[in-house]
Amino acid sequence: MTAMECLERLRDMQIELRKLERDIKELRAKLYSLKAIDYGKEHISGGTPKDLGDQIAHFNARLKVVQDKWKRFMQYSDVVDGMINQIESCQLRALLHERYINCGSWEQVAEVVGVTREWIRKRMHREAVKEFSKIYKNSLQELAVVGIQDVV
């Protein structure tokens, strides 16, 4: 994995976690809106009935998956943030932190760093990734401890 792939993986993880959190929110809303079974209606056979217990079990299983992914994300994010914080230039640190740790847009990054979006994308980002790459090569052992293979 290259340094750039390491940074992009962090953004991908955040996107995946936001999606999973929306799924959990929808499942929770479905649980709160469940109605009692009307036993007066005609029984229709086929399919597998999902009672409240099944739905709660499904919700808890999905919640556990999300919690595990959040834990791995936080470990990975802490290691990557530690590497970013080793960069000497304050502007380059701020650029990488805002873009990859905070998952900011290029406009947000430019606002934080105090330069134009074009300058960030055409010049500074390349320089920041180059500086991060130097640190990344020396920190592969730390990422191996976190288990970068199965983070997402």
pLDDT given at position 152: 40
Angle (deg, nearest 10), helices 52-84 and 125-138: 100
Both tokens of 148, joined, read 């970068």
Domain ranges in the chain are: 3-24+57-150
What band does 151 get if pLDDT is binned at 50, 70 and 90?
A: very low
Other residues' Cβ atoms within 10 Å of the Cβ of residue 110 = 20
pLDDT given at position 60: 86
Other residues' Cβ atoms within 10 Å of the Cβ of residue 43 = 5
What lies within 8 Å, CB to CB, of 99 at 6+ separation is 7, 11, 106, 109, 125
Report yes or no on whether pTM surpasses 0.75.
no
Q: pLDDT of 19-68, one tens digit each?
A: 888 888 888 887 777 655 555 666 565 555 566 777 788 888 888 888 88
Both tokens of 102, joined, read 């905070």
What band does 128 get if pLDDT is binned at 50, 70 and 90?
A: very high
What lies within 8 Å, CB to CB, of 145 at 6+ separation is 79
Angle (deg, nearest 10), helices 125-138 and 3-32: 90
CB neighbour burial string for 82-93, b if at least 16 within 10 angstroms, e if fewer: ebbeebeeebbb
pLDDT given at position 44: 61
Which one has a higher pLDDT value, 69 or 127? 127
Q: pLDDT of 70-123, one tens digit each?
A: 898 999 999 999 999 999 999 999 999 999 999 899 999 999 999 999 999 889
User: What angle is formed at CA 11 by the lines to CA 108 and CA 84, rounded to 5 degrees?
Assistant: 75
